């Protein structure tokens, strides 16, 4: 028997209080691709400024309902910065079913962090102004001011990882990247493919952060003269800790670069645009790290984005992006390449994506775009092939 990742999402640190939560029940509903006989989850108060008081946690799967405890107690208090695993609970989960987690948040003070999904097809969250889920009538929209007109993320607080104990041989595929990964428009259909083609044999973990750069820490927002903390630290710095703390993925798909090429120009920090040599060096560090842990790693080409902000656009961006993609396609250090650029670029204007596959911003794939990306990922190769490095 072995603990394997059922669900994992990056907890975004906003670096400032977004508000407080008191006496609300949070419901996480997620689609499972693997099964097991026992379950545990990670309660996560890492970036918040106050205590996280949990009144109760229940999990429901296949018609069974179980209470979760920590150290035998249903009442849990986490200090700022603290994480804890719940006690394992006996509950049968099966591939292809929906699992519900109900957590009564008695109080969370100075909430600075959340998990988010924009696609919200393979996991969703709801909040109810009550402590007893049996009397819940209507969901409410917490932190409504965080929701944007076009991008409407669902928020999840206090949970970042769920494991199941299984005797099946299960592959964990981790997606590491920026907002294109984070928003889940390609994560969700890829998880759907896993469920259809490899039920019980693989699961996905999402380590995307919107605005993340591989080579440099967050850009400075000039209007507030502070770093955009929610963009996360440089990808090469967070790679090992984010991917190998709660799990050891069998396969990593690494897709970074758009923000490295563009943020320096957009935010007036041209000295933070990496050289080609610097970017390749950081990619190589990540590949070496993955291999150190026995993971196979596939490098993804940098997608076109010249339609995003034409006023801030620089031809140097396209030159760097093209050089990086040429190197990715020709390198031999990683275990393979996924050429998203070749699939998503406009054949008549290769520096721009196909408009029909993108949101109105011209940068982020929408539902059809995410489905297109997911369709070219070589799942059979990722799941069936034996490990190369150990």
pTM (predicted TM-score) = 0.92
Q: Which residues contact 187 (CB under 8 A, 6 or more apart)?
A: 119, 122, 175, 181, 204, 206, 208, 370
- Rounded CA-CA distance 322/371 in Å is 24
For 280-297, letters b (16+ CB in 10 Å) and e give bebbebbbebbbebebbb
The pLDDT assigned to 333 comes to 98
Tell me which residue has tokens 């996905």: 204
Q: Is the pLDDT of residue 265 over 50?
A: yes
Domain spans of the chain, in order of start: 2-164, 169-384
Q: Count the helix, strand and coil residues of the chain and give each as a percent rounded to the nearest 5.
A: 25, 35, 40
Q: Which residues contact 239 (CB under 8 A, 6 or more apart)?
A: 176, 285, 286, 289
User: How many other β-carbons are positioned within 10 Å of the β-carbon of residue 208?
Assistant: 24
The pLDDT assigned to 389 comes to 41
DSSP readout, 200-250?
A: TTEEEEEEE-TT--SSS-PPEETTTTEE-GGG-S-HHHHHHHHHHSS---S
Q: What's the rounded mean pLDDT across residues 64-70? A: 97
Alpha helices in the chain (DSSP H): 179-182, 187-197, 235-244, 258-266, 276-292, 315-330, 340-344, 367-375, 379-384
The pLDDT assigned to 148 comes to 36
The pLDDT assigned to 345 comes to 85
The pLDDT assigned to 131 comes to 63
Fold of 169-384: Rossmann fold (3.40.50)
Q: Are 180 and 343 in contact (CB under 8 A)?
A: no
What is the tens place of the pLDDT at every residue in 163-205?
Answer: 999 988 999 999 999 999 999 999 999 999 999 999 999 999 9
Q: How confident is the model at residue 143 (pLDDT cuts 50, 70, 90)?
A: low
Are 2-164 and 169-384 equal in CATH topology?
A: no
Highest mean pLDDT among 155-159, 191-195, 265-269: 191-195
Q: Is the pLDDT of residue 152 over 70?
A: no
The pLDDT assigned to 223 comes to 52
User: How many other β-carbons are positioned within 10 Å of the β-carbon of residue 22?
Assistant: 11
The pLDDT assigned to 19 comes to 86
Q: What's the rounded mean pLDDT across residues 219-231? A: 73
Q: How confident is the model at residue 142 (pLDDT cuts 50, 70, 90)?
A: low
Query: How would you classify the pairing of strands 64-68 and 52-61?
Result: antiparallel
* CATH match of 2-164 with 1.10.8: no
Sheet holding 296-300, edge to edge: 202-208, 171-177, 251-255, 296-300, 336-338
Q: Considering only residues 348 and 188, tell me which one the structure prediction assigns the higher pLDDT.
A: 188
Q: How confident is the model at residue 147 (pLDDT cuts 50, 70, 90)?
A: very low
Q: Are 205 and 247 in contact (CB under 8 A)?
A: yes
Q: How confident is the model at residue 134 (pLDDT cuts 50, 70, 90)?
A: low
- Rounded CA-CA distance 316/265 in Å is 10
Judged by average pLDDT, the poorest of 12-21, 86-95, 134-143, 307-316 is 134-143
Percent of the chain with pLDDT over 90: 70
């Amino acid at each position: 028997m072995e603990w394997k990742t059922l669900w994992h999402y990056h907890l975004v640190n906003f670096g400032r209080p977004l508000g407080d939560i008191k006496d609300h029940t949070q419901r996480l509903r997620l689609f499972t691709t693997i099964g097991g006989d026992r379950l545990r989850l990670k309660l996560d108060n890492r970036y918040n400024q106050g205590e996280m008081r949990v009144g109760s946690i229940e999990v429901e799967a296949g018609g069974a309902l179980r209470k979760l405890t920590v150290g035998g107690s249903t009442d849990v208090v986490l200090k700022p910065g603290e994480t804890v695993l719940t006690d394992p609970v006996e509950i049968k989960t099966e591939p292809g079913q929906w699992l519900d987690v109900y957590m009564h948040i008695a109080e969370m003070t100075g909430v600075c962090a959340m998990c988010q999904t924009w696609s919200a097809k393979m996991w969703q969250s709801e909040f109810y102004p009550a402590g007893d889920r049996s009397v819940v009538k209507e969901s409410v929209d917490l932190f409504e001011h965080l929701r944007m007109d076009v991008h409407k993320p669902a928020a999840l607080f206090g949970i970042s990882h769920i494991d199941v104990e299984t005797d099946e041989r299960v592959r964990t595929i981790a997606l590491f990247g920026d907002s294109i990964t984070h928003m889940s428009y390609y994560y969700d259909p890829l998880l759907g493919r896993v469920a259809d083609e490899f039920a019980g044999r693989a699961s996905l973990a999402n380590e995307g952060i919107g605005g993340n750069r591989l080579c440099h820490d967050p850009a400075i927002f000039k209007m507030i003269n502070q770093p955009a903390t929610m963009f996360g630290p440089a990808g090469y710095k967070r790679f090992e800790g984010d991917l190998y703390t709660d799990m050891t993925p069998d396969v990593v798909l690494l897709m970074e670069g758009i923000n490295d090429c563009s943020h320096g120009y957009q935010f007036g920090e041209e000295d933070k645009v990496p050289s080609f040599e610097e970017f390749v060096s950081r990619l190589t560090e990540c590949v070496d790290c993955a291999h150190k842990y026995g993971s196979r790693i596939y490098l993804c080409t940098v997608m076109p984005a010249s339609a995003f902000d034409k006023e801030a656009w620089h031809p140097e961006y396209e030159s760097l992006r093209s050089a990086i993609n040429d190197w990715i396609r020709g390198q031999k250090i990683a275990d393979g390449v996924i050429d998203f650029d070749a699939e998503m670029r406009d054949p008549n204007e290769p520096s721009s994506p196909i408009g029909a596959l993108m949101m109105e911003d011209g940068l982020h794939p929408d539902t059809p775009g995410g489905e297109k990306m997911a369709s070219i990922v070589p799942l059979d190769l990722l799941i069936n092939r034996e490990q190369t490095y150990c």
